[in-house]
Amino acid sequence: MKTRITELFGIEHPIIQGGMHYVGFAELAAAVSEAGGLGIITALTQKTPKDLANEIARAQDMTDKPIGVNLTFLPTLNPPDYPAIVKTVIDSGVKAVETAGNNPQAVLPHLKDAGIKVIHKCTSVRHALKAQRIGCDAASIDGFECAGHPGEDDIPNMILLPRAADELEIPFVSSGGQADGRSLVASLAMGAEGMNMGTRFMATVEAPIHENVKQAIVEADELQTRLIMRPLRNTERVLNNAAVEKLLEKEKTLGDEIRFEDIIGEVAGVYPRIMLEGEMDAGAWSCGMVAGLIHDIPTVKELIDRIMEEAGQIIRGRLKGFLAGGMS
């Protein structure tokens, strides 16, 4: 399948693995790229720029196909050494970067001068238009269904994607709620040039996370995610667990008086314990409503091949059948 996204990134299938904290390691990124998609290593999971360089090199040893790096720009008291991280990405020879969080304008000239294609994650059309104006090559349009931070507008992809198609000139992919061939065909129908998957890639053989996490996703349905940190305007969609229930109770009790310090125990530094050690109630962790569509743990290649086969069947069979006036 050829789209503007496959052409832009030099990949076979219009499927991107989103950057995920303590999930986007070399094993998963390389598996996605080797299967024809675009695998993404999460830069901020690595403790130092040197560690990031080593992680990229590990992935490049596993595949000679394009891989990308996620750079998330966060407002923090002790910000990462972003200039060193950007230099590491450029020196590694990576040709694709997914940016997220704050405006990436300051680093864009360095990435573009190195021939790197940049796709920026956006939760609204206005943010996507800004990404287009500052020179991003593509956008990842993140609907309200998504894992992690959906923004504060609460617009689902059935509305957000067609709105993006109406406004944008750069290509974009759908993100949030994407799991299978149906997702891909629907995204293409609404104007996207491919799709970005996060939660679905967590439930794969190659995802280097604890089996407890994978099983939790398979066992969950679409009703089991919760929105936390809404009063702080830093909304995050997470899978419900004991820590999340405790956090939501704090939000209810403290109301407008709540501060980040009040919930730090449930959200700060918990990812290694959850993703690597399988402590499922250690804290809040990002998971999309798409968990309701995830019922197995295939290899990455099996998953991508299945998605593309299903998408082809829908396009050539079901949709074409409607045009022919037949039933399917």
Assign residue 51 the CATH number of its domain: 3.20.20.70
Q: Same domain, yes or no, for 82 and 127?
A: yes
Q: Same domain, yes or no, for 217 and 309?
A: no
Q: Same domain, yes or no, for 273 and 302?
A: no
Residue 272 is assigned to a structural domain of this protein: yes
Residue-wise pLDDT tens digits, 86-126: 999 999 999 999 999 999 999 999 999 999 999 999 999 99
Residue 328 is assigned to a structural domain of this protein: no
Lookup: tokens for 246: 């405790």
Residue 95 is assigned to a structural domain of this protein: yes
Q: Same domain, yes or no, for 284 and 222?
A: yes
Q: Same domain, yes or no, for 196 and 235?
A: no
Q: Same domain, yes or no, for 97 and 176?
A: yes
**Coil, strand, or helix at residue 72?**
strand
> Mean pLDDT in the chain?
96
Residue-wise pLDDT tens digits, 149-184: 999 999 999 999 999 999 999 999 999 999 999 999
Q: Same domain, yes or no, for 16 and 57?
A: yes
Residue 32 is assigned to a structural domain of this protein: yes
Q: Are 81 and 53 in contact (CB under 8 A)?
A: no
Residue 44 is assigned to a structural domain of this protein: yes
Q: Same domain, yes or no, for 70 and 90?
A: yes
Q: Same domain, yes or no, for 60 and 168?
A: yes
pLDDT at residue 75, rounded to an integer: 75
Residue 325 has pLDDT above 80, yes or no: no
Q: Same domain, yes or no, for 136 and 258?
A: no
Q: Are 100 and 73 in contact (CB under 8 A)?
A: yes
DSSP strand pairing (39-42 vs 67-73): parallel
Domain extent for 40: 4-205+298-323
Q: Are 238 and 263 in contact (CB under 8 A)?
A: no
Into how many domains does the chain fold?
2
Q: Could you tell me the pLDDT band of residue 327, with boundaries at 50, 70 and 90?
A: low
CA-nearest of 86, 74, 69, 80 to 18 is 69
- Whole-angstrom CA distances from 75 to 103, 104, 109, 147, 234 are 11, 12, 21, 20, 11
Residue 326 has pLDDT above 70, yes or no: no
Q: Same domain, yes or no, for 9 and 122?
A: yes
Q: Are 88 and 7 in contact (CB under 8 A)?
A: no
Please name every residue paired with 301 in a beta bridge, in sequence order, or none if there are none.
none
Q: Same domain, yes or no, for 71 and 113?
A: yes
Residue-wise pLDDT tens digits, 205-251: 999 999 999 999 999 999 999 999 999 999 999 999 999 999 999 99
